[in-house]
Structure 1
Amino acid sequence: MVLDDDLRAWLLDSDPALRWQVERDLLGADDDVWQATRARVATEGFGARLLSLQDDDGRWAGGAFFPAGFDFHGPETAPDAGQPWTATTWSLTSLHEWGVDAAALEGTAQRLDAVCRWEYDDLPYWGGEVDACINAMTLANGAWLGADVSQVARWFLEHRMTDGGWNCEWVEGSVRSSVRSTLASVRGLLGYETTVEAHGGPGTSSSLTSALRAARHAGEEYLLARRLMFRLSTGEQLAPWVTELAYPVRSFYSVLAAADHLRAASLHDARPPDPRVAEAVEVVRAARQPDGTWLQGRRHPGRVWFEVDVPAGEPSRWLTLHALRVLDWWDTGGPATDA
């Protein structure tokens, strides 16, 4: 991808967690260049800072999905307050997405297995719980750290809805998938799949991996049938929030987050972009500013260890990275680099 000098310099003037992805996905840098930058994530900037906040027992903030002592009936549970993003699952997910080498967390999987329990029913951490979005992060993070997450893997096969996706509200009686739960699920499944294909892992097998790949493809088809943003029944836009672009993504849904996953899936599967992504891509393209950047849409409310992106309304390096690599993938008809 050709970037003007100012945009290129602005993107490279960033934390190593972001910079290595710019080098790899936008600039086509040699492997030794972006891998050297990626290796710095554990010792510099966001990655090093978050690693330093890990508890001695392997957790963050003393909890699995919520911090220790979280008041489930207090002010942080109000609809506009946002949940805290500081506990173990969120911290591991950030480190994983930023490219931290699992070796920097040596022993974490074992320590969590010994002491970490879900707030839901006090279930063991690497066995997962009942929420698809939570289990998706657990599946990908566990494979990355070398934990046995085969129970979580089988959970996705057992809890896929008849329409092809997943819904975190199945425990409340929902029988239809949701785009948010389905995107979170296929992201987790792809993370698991790429890790076990490269490194193997406890509890894995070729039959399980094949079944999970088929489930992922069915979930992606669920999103594609809706062209990432429309109701299948009426053709209307799902909701205003589908076109709201924000980083960190967390477990929220947007057309950019969905398109960026499909880009990663197409790289992994060696398949060209699906034509049904076209309208979502044009929404992303239309959000580009005259200077070539994308603006932060909002900050999801809730406690954080520290901010990793700009306030709403300001140019976001993270969103600009994600948007540019989606457009490059789409406009070239496939992957520009071997990611």
Structure 2
Amino acid sequence: MTDFKKRDWKQNLLTGPVIEWLLDSDPAVRWQVMRDLLHEPEDKVAAVRSQVAVEGWGQQVLLRQSGEGHWWADEDAWPLQNTLFALVLLKDMGLEPKSAEAGRAIALVRDNLIWEYHENRAFFEGEVEACINGRILAAGSYYGETSERLVQYLLDGQLPDGGWNCEAPPSTRSSFHSTICVLEGLLEYEKAAGADPEVTTARKRGEEYLLERGLFRSLSSGGVIDPRFTCMFYPPSYHYDILRGLEYFRVAGAQPDERMSEAIELILAKQAANGRWPLDSPRPDDIPFHMEDPSGGESRWNTLRALQVLEWWSSY
């Protein structure tokens, strides 16, 4: 492992100004700080989490859903893109899946939206690309709309190297972008439906694909596959970066692996002197209301996510 564990990071970061700054924020950030960093009682955490649906960013997203179930469809780069990303964003915020607000939103999507260009499949049955289907499975499983057909479709699409690629076939090599989306979807499916040996085996193969490459390096050359992999973005849509990779392993309850060490060091290197982390660059799928500065500014989302990962990394 790195010498990370030797650092007295908790005393410096989990008390004082950084935590106060995170708590002086949206409920979507605040409840996760309380649960994962301060380990406060469940009832207090639940009380703040319930606010996601009725105030702040969560309420802003919910209010922008159309009567047909879409989110800002006129700005879609491909059919239903923003609807999918809105559902994932609400999941990441912690919208309670059994809340009345989530129930209304999901019913509109389930009952009205189809993939017109893919056999008119229902929204939660998915389309054909691995990265999109992984995101659909993650959202559907979280909100109680699991699709066994979609799970099997993803399992059948796993490549010999352990990952997935939206361009397979003809491609025979996996993509980090596709692989992380599918891993997140399969993990959310197992959280909802229970452990499944076939799904678990597929996830472990996919995890090994990332680990063999140190979460961002080429297996053949050892070089950085894409400089953007070392940036910190939010929201990630279907794009991969090292913080998202580390976050997956944390949520999966995996044990830290030496092959993650360089990625951890890169995350630490991005921390500012005041203990906060930046938003390196905006994603092309802009959110149509103000959450955080588009790029270059301090990010509560990324600071929360980095601290969650570091808390997990230091706990073993």
The normalised TM-score by structure 2 is 0.89
Shift of residue 110, structure 1, vs aligned partner: 4.4
Q: State the match for 1:312 in structure 2.
A: 295
Matched, 1:188 2:185: yes
Which of 279, 294, 298 is equivalent to 1:296?
279
Q: State the match for 2:94 in structure 1.
A: 99
Counting only pairs closer than 5 Å after superposition, residues 161-176 of structure 1 correspond to structure 2 as: 161-171=159-169, 173-176=170-173
Q: Which runs of 4+ in 1 moved over 6 A?
A: 83-86
Matched, 1:325 2:298: no
Q: State the match for 2:47 in structure 1.
A: 36
Distance 1:191 1:233 in 2: 31
Shift of residue 84, structure 1, vs aligned partner: 9.7
Going from structure 1 to structure 2, the CA distance change for 1:328 and 1:147 (only over 3 Å counts) comes to closer
Aligned residue identity for 1:236:
G
Shift of residue 126, structure 1, vs aligned partner: 2.0
Matched, 1:135 2:133: yes
Going from structure 1 to structure 2, the CA distance change for 1:234 and 1:147 (only over 3 Å counts) comes to same
Contact 2:134 2:184 in 1 (8 A): yes
Contact 1:86 1:303 in 2 (8 A): no
Counting only pairs closer than 5 Å after superposition, residues 272-283 of structure 1 correspond to structure 2 as: 272-283=255-266
Which of 225, 241, 245 is equivalent to 1:238?
225
Where 1:261 maps in the other structure, the secondary structure is helix
Contact 1:85 1:303 in 2 (8 A): no
Deviations 1:285-319 (CA, angstroms, capped at 9, x unpaired):
11111110111101112443223222312111111
Q: State the match for 1:154 in structure 2.
A: 152
Q: State the match for 1:249 in structure 2.
A: 236
**Any stretches of 5+ residues in structure 2 without a counterpart?**
1-9
Distance 1:116 1:84 in 2: 10
Where 1:301 maps in the other structure, the secondary structure is coil
Contact 1:139 1:152 in 2 (8 A): yes
The normalised TM-score by structure 1 is 0.83
RMSD of the TM alignment (CA)?
2.1
Residues matched between the structures, number: 302
Shift of residue 234, structure 1, vs aligned partner: 1.2
Distance 1:12 1:164 in 2: 40
Shift of residue 48, structure 1, vs aligned partner: 1.1
Contact 1:11 1:22 in 2 (8 A): yes
- Using the aligned pairs only, state the percent identity: 37
Shift of residue 69, structure 1, vs aligned partner: 8.2
Q: State the match for 1:336 in structure 2.
A: none
Q: State the match for 2:7 in structure 1.
A: none
Going from structure 1 to structure 2, the CA distance change for 1:285 and 1:151 (only over 3 Å counts) comes to same
Contact 1:248 1:309 in 2 (8 A): no
Relative contact order (alpha carbons < 8 A, sep ≥ 6): 1 or 2 greater?
1
Aligned residue identity for 2:24:
D
Q: State the match for 2:245 in structure 1.
A: 258
Q: Which moved more, 1:113-122 or 1:2-11?
A: 113-122
**Any stretches of 5+ residues in structure 1 without a counterpart?**
62-66, 71-76, 78-82, 198-205, 334-339
Counting only pairs closer than 5 Å after superposition, residues 210-249 of structure 1 correspond to structure 2 as: 210-249=197-236
Contact 1:166 1:185 in 2 (8 A): yes
